[in-house]
Chain A
Amino acid sequence: MSSKLRDAASANDEECALDMSPMIDMVFLLLIFFVVNSNAVIVKQDVKVRPPIASFGKKQEDKNGRIVVNVLPDGSFTTERGEALEDETAIFDMVKKAKEQNDLKGYKSKLHLRGDKDAVFKHSRKAIAASAGAGVDQVMFATFVTSK
């Protein structure tokens, strides 16, 4: 065997390997970042509603039993899924149905009112009154702690 052939054979033995360790490091870093930063969604937030600011607001803890009504700046109402609620009667029906479902599951119903900060309060009052009529007397006003 010539020396050239021997050299070629030894080169084939050293396989070209990709060093995966920096990539694994990066993946772990990204994973830890997302695990630490992610928050469980309590309710689906409609981006058209900009909630008011309340510095003493309490952290949302329990997801169960919340019945969401969005009050848009123009005074119209939508559900958590974005379905339009025409008037107080529609809110009453929706809240009553949701309350019945919550009662079956053993959850205490509460109105999660996402009112736009610039909406006139009479619209929120309509939603509160309709909910009270349907038997839901706890209201959670959705707010932000700061404007930033």
Chain B
Amino acid sequence: MARHRKYQGAEEAMPALDISSLIDVCFLLLIYFLVATSIQKKEVDVPLALPAAAPNDAEMPDIDPLFIKVDANGAIFTGAGSSQQMLDTDTSSREVPQLSQQLQLYVAGANSGGKKPLVQIWVDGGSNQQRVIDVLNALVGAGISSVTFTDLVD
């Protein structure tokens, strides 16, 4: 019996890890994330270089830039003067298939000649932001990075 009691005493003195500080740290981190997190949709960028950032006269491109016009109703045109073509007019759709197709052709033509595609955009002041972004989105989708607004001064 005496030997048994001695064995029990040794078992009670077993080393144990105190995890209370670990739990404290976990709770602190949890509270931090609970407080700091806000459920918001993630925004993405559609980049644009202004004319000031475009190449200067010494580096003028040797390809005719594609001219895109967005009117007050959101209709999209390409070309200027007599060669002007009306493309996408459905402002409720975020897709601009005709413009995208034309951009693909333009990019293919530029690449085959070893030139860099360049686009100039003219937007009517009455057009809404979403429609302009539709056009810029199509340009990003076509891989065109040289884009300038030609209408920054009314």
Contacts and interface: CB of A to CB of B under 8 A. Distances in A.
Contacts of A59: 44-45
Question: Which 7 residue pairs are nearest across A and B when measured between Cβ atoms?
Answer: A57-B44, A122-B125, A34-B33, A137-B53, A54-B137, A52-B130, A52-B133
Contacts of A138: 47-50, 53
B43 interface: yes
Nearest to A47: B40
Contacts of B127: 120-121
Interface of B: 19, 23, 26-27, 29-30, 33-34, 36-37, 40-53, 94, 123-134, 136-138, 140-141, 149, 151-154
A39 B127 CA distance: 33
A126 to B, nearest CB: 9
Given A122-B126, A141-B133, A34 B30 contact: yes
A132 B50 contact: yes
A117 B44 contact: no
A67 B47 CA distance: 14
Interface of A: 20, 23-24, 27-28, 30-31, 34-35, 37-39, 42-43, 45, 51-60, 71, 114-122, 124-125, 128-129, 132, 137-145
A128 B50 contact: yes
B18 to A, nearest CB: 12
A129 B43 contact: no
Contacts of B140: 54, 56-58
Name the prevailing secondary structure of the A interface residues.
mixed
B129 A116 contact: yes
Nearest to A144: B41
B44 A58 contact: yes
Given A37-B37, A58-B46, A140-B46, A121 B29 contact: no
B152 A45 contact: no
A57 B137 CA distance: 7
A24 B20 CA distance: 10
Nearest to A110: B47
B50 A118 contact: no
Given A56-B141, A117-B130, A121-B123, A27 B27 contact: yes
Contact of B133 (A20, A31, A143): A143
Contact of B49 (A35, A43, A119, A137): A137
B104 to A, nearest CB: 14
Contacts of B123: 121, 125
Contacts of A55: 94, 137, 141
Nearest to B124: A121
A132 B49 CA distance: 10
Given A20-B23, A37-B37, A122-B126, A57 B50 contact: no
